[in-house]
Chains A and B, each alone.
Chain A
Amino acid sequence: MSPTALCAYAITTDHAPDLSGTPAVSFEVEPRLIAYLGVALVVAEVDVDRFAGLGIEPAEDGRLARLAREHDAVVRAVFRCAPVLPLRFGTVITDSDAALLLLRAHHEEARVWLDRVQGRREWGVRGRGSRIDDTTVPGEVDLANVSGTQYLALRRQQLTGVEDARRGRIAAIRTLHGELSRRAAESTSRDHPGDLLLDAAYLVDTTAEADFHAEVRRLSDELGPRGVSVEVTGPWPPYSFTQIEFAVAGVVANG
């Protein structure tokens, strides 16, 4: 038997439902709440070595995938009925004394953050561009019938066309991010390599979701002809909007 510890999944309010009483939820772990002055930590007892030696394959049926999905499922079970601050995957604390130490130190801060995400859900939006092909901009020409000078002029025109298309895309993507941010309580976007033109997340009031998605559809239709496809993921618990660090000082007796 390896020693046990508490895996912590999220912070929520102390009136979140008792998870053990949720019939639709079944996990390998048994999540429960440890409450303190209005907030609660969602925890489950786990073997300490549960997270050790995770395999290096991202396989759908791998151990990492299973554990990550379980983490998400526990967070979502709470998220369905109460505001949550998801904790990062693999937050393993020593015991319930440690949980109380954490809550005692940060309950006020946690409550402020919980108010901030209450009644809101996260949506991910990505814009992906197809390659702008300089031989198809601005159009097909029979090169056999053009002079050297004409060819160079044509080539310049093609390159300008590529540059225009690229600028048009960037402007359209900025409009998309701007319009969606206006409809969201908060937004965040990240640097994006390669063909990704936008990788953003929006924290949206549930009452504003219809408007938000109508705008996504409207602007996606405009981006389509520019060779940009828009993908939406969600709803997510507010993973991207809880970039908080809870530092806990004090030594916990490790029994």
Chain B
Amino acid sequence: MAEPDTTSLADLLDRVVHRGAVVRGDVIITLAGVELIRLDLRLLLIGIGGALSDTVPTFEELPR
């Protein structure tokens, strides 16, 4: 079984950040109506799009 540490960061972020089940609603902690993490990740993924080549979702694909 591949250990997490040997997994490429791009593959990992692709799955962990972009996939998986989403929880929505009042139970989620938000800042001015935007989920804490989405706020940063939207900016983040624009910044690293080039560095991580083709496995990073585009801005439009990101969850809001």
Contact = CB atoms under 8 A, between A and B. Distances in A.
Contacts of B31: 52
Interface string A230-251: 0001111001101111111111
Given A56-B43, A192-B54, A193-B54, A246 B13 contact: no
Contacts of A8: 23
Contacts of B13: 58, 64-65, 68
A90 B35 contact: yes
Nearest to A128: B54
A93 interface: yes
A90 B11 CA distance: 17
B24 A245 contact: yes
B20 A88 contact: yes
Interface residues of A, number: 59
A62 B22 CA distance: 24
B25 interface: yes
A11 B38 CA distance: 20
Given A52-B40, A68-B16, A92-B36, A233 B21 contact: no
Contacts of B28: 91-93
A37 interface: no
Given A56-B44, A64-B44, A239-B16, A48 B26 contact: no
Given A48-B36, A73-B4, A87 B43 contact: no
A87 B29 contact: no
B61 to A, nearest CB: 10
A36 to B, nearest CB: 14
Interface of B: 1-2, 4-5, 7-13, 15-29, 31, 35-38, 40-41, 43-44, 47-48, 51-52, 54-55, 63
**What are the nearest 4 A-B pairs in CB distance?**
A90-B37, A248-B25, A98-B27, A56-B47
27 contacts: A8-B23, A51-B40, A54-B37, A55-B44, A56-B48, A57-B47, A58-B51, A85-B20, A86-B15, A86-B19, A91-B23, A92-B28, A92-B29, A92-B36, A93-B23, A94-B29, A101-B27, A102-B27, A124-B11, A233-B8, A235-B1, A236-B15, A242-B21, A247-B25, A248-B24, A248-B25, A250-B26
Given A56-B43, A239-B16, 11 more contacts: A58-B52, A68-B16, A87-B20, A89-B16, A91-B23, A92-B28, A98-B27, A245-B22, A245-B23, A249-B26, A252-B26
